[in-house]
Amino acid sequence: AQRVTQPEKLLSVFKGAPVELKCNYSYSGSPELFWYVQYSRQRLQLLLRHISRESIKGFTADLNKGETSFHLKKPFAQEEDSAMYYCALNRVKAAGNKLTFGGGTRVLVKP
């Protein structure tokens, strides 16, 4: 069975500092990885997906199949990055779009 682990429940950084949210997965097949974000009083929304290989709001994430990781990084955190972040895995070629979520990491960016 697939599993997604986010080892940090809380990350607290100062504005302008780098931030890295760790995500490790276990899945024997070919996965699709996503980061979803939930800002205060807003809905959960997609931040980025690995197949797009793009930077969103300054965040990037690289899929490392050797280490089975999909860490989310931003070189200079901003206060508006404070939110709950979830890493999620979709099993490619499995039956449909069913996401497995990690436990989430709360990011607090201090001024």
Partner 1 sequence: DADVTQTPRNRITKTGKRIMLECSQTKGHDRMYWYRQDPGLGLRLIYYSFDVKDINKGEISDGYSVSRQAQAKFSLSLESAIPNQTALYFCATSAPDRGQTYEQYFGPGTRLTVT
- If the CB atoms of residues 32 and 81 are measured against partner 1, the closer one turns out to be 32
* Residue 19 C-beta: closest distance to partner 1, Å: 19
Rounded to a whole number of angstroms, the minimum distance from the CB of residue 46 to partner 1 is: 4
Which 3-state string (H, E, C) describes the chain?
CCEEECCCCEEEEECCCCEEECCEEECCCCEEEEEEEECCCCCEEEEEEHHHCCCECCEEECCECCCCECCEEECCCCHHHCEEEEEEEEECCCCCCCEEECCCEEEEEEC
Candidate list 12, 26, 30, 45; residue touching partner 1; CB under 8 A: 45
Is 61 a residue that touches partner 1 (CB under 8 A)? Answer: no
The reply on whether position 103 binds partner 1 by CB under 8 A is yes
Region 65-94 residues binding partner 1, contact defined as CB under 8 A: 86, 90, 92
Closest distance to partner 1 from the beta carbon of 98 (Å): 6
List, in sequence order, every residue forming a beta bridge with 21; answer none if it has no partner: 72
Figure out which of the listed residues 49, 77, 107, 109 binds partner 1, where binding follows CB under 8 A. 49
